[in-house]
């Protein structure tokens, strides 16, 4: 019993240190890259019509290390700037699911192959569903009063977007560190909670129970995991250590991926913010799209990984 407790504590501290280091390093790199990319350049790229706009919307979403509710104000800015609806929706789907933090953590903690498969599947789903929702007339579900900007305080977005690019590299490093820490502080509690839950699963949850309920042989494990992620509001940074522990106990990687996508993309706070921009039918459509992305990704992971 004491050995199990010690192993559980060791898991908690090691995984916590690894995740904090990864988050800070990846966030600093992204902060530095964004210092060299003007906001008007991003908007001009997103103005492309058709699949090109969807592709670029998903690509830019994959480069922005935002939490779900930080994505909403930027989505609103795209709408107000006249960015095509399909490009905006592709960005909205991709941003919380494909940010560099998720990709980096998956690559280091699960494997590069897992990170590549996750990126490709989720990216293609973002492009396709953005294009589909545009072509089916989703823009008509915008509310007339959508211009009211909403925010949840997940990092200092204004400061990050207005950093001067004509600075010494040392100053840019300092600003990048400050920006990364500003993004880290709001989610630190979530991260520790996720690691703590993961450590308890690692130390005490019976393997045969996990294999029976969420193993690769259970076809319902993936959709159930996607649904479970919604009310939990588990950020990807929280879900990954939990998923890592569940995988070590026998949970299929597809179910883990579905849990990450469901929690990161369909969080209740994000949906409440979206309800201020879109009519209810559109919000339900977005929930359905994220759910399908989670299920498709999970099943394909189990098939190919």
Q: What is the C-alpha separation between 133 and 138, in angstroms, rounded?
A: 5
Name the region of 235 (left: φ>0; alpha: ψ -120 to 50; beta: rest).
Answer: beta
pLDDT, position 22: 72
Of 268, 259, 269, the closest CA to residue 291 belongs to 259
List, run by run, the mean pLDDT of 10-residue segments along the chain (305 residues).
76 80 75 70 68 88 65 69 84 84 78 88 92 88 56 44 64 86 72 74 64 68 78 59 76 83 70 75 87 89 81
Per DSSP, the residues of 149-207 read -----SS-HHHHHT--SSS-HHHHHHHHHHHHHHHHHHHHHHHHHHHHHHHHHHHHS-H
pLDDT, position 90: 92
Of 149, 15, 189, 169, the closest CA to residue 69 belongs to 149
pLDDT, position 188: 75
Q: What is the C-alpha separation between 133 and 285, in angstroms, rounded?
A: 9
Other residues' Cβ atoms within 10 Å of the Cβ of residue 109: 18
Q: What is the C-alpha separation between 295 and 125, in angstroms, rounded?
A: 11
Produce one character per residue of 237-252: b if its CB has 16 or more CB atoms within 10 Å, e if not.
bbbbbbbbbbbebbbb
Sign for the pseudo-dihedral over CA of 278, 280, 283, 289 = negative
Domain boundaries, the chain: 2-304
pTM above threshold 0.75? no
């Amino acid at each position: 019993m004491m050995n199990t407790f010690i192993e559980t504590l060791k898991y908690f501290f090691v995984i916590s240190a690894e995740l904090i280091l990864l988050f800070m390093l990846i966030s600093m790199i992204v902060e530095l890259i964004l210092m060299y990319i003007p906001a008007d350049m991003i908007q001009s790229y997103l103005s492309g019509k058709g699949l090109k706009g969807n592709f670029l919307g998903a690509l830019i979403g994959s480069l922005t290390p935002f939490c779900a509710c930080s994505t909403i104000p930027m989505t609103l800015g795209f709408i107000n700037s006249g960015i095509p609806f399909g490009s905006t929706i592709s960005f909205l789907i991709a941003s919380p699911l494909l940010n560099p933090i998720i990709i980096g953590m998956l690559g280091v903690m699960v494997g590069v192959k897992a990170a590549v498969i996750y990126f490709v599947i989720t990216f293609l789903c973002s492009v396709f569903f953005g294009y589909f929702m545009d072509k089916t007339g989703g823009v008509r579900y915008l509310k007339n009063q959508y211009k009211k900007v909403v925010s949840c305080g997940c990092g200092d977005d204004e400061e990050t977007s207005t950093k001067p690019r004509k600075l010494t590299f040392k100053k840019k490093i300092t600003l990048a560190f400050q920006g990364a820490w500003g993004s880290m502080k709001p989610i630190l509690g979530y991260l520790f909670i996720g690691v703590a839950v993961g450590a308890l699963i690692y130390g005490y949850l019976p393997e045969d129970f996990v294999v029976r309920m969420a193993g690769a042989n259970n076809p319902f494990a993936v959709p159930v995991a996607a649904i479970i992620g919604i009310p939990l509001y588990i950020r990807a940074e929280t879900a990954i250590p939990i998923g890592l522990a569940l995988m070590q106990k026998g949970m299929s990687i597809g179910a883990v991926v579905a849990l990450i996508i469901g929690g990161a993309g369909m969080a209740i706070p994000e949906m409440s913010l979206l309800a201020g921009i879109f009519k209810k039918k559109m919000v339900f459509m977005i929930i359905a799209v994220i759910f399908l992305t989670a299920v498709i990704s999970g099943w394909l992971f189990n098939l190919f990984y």
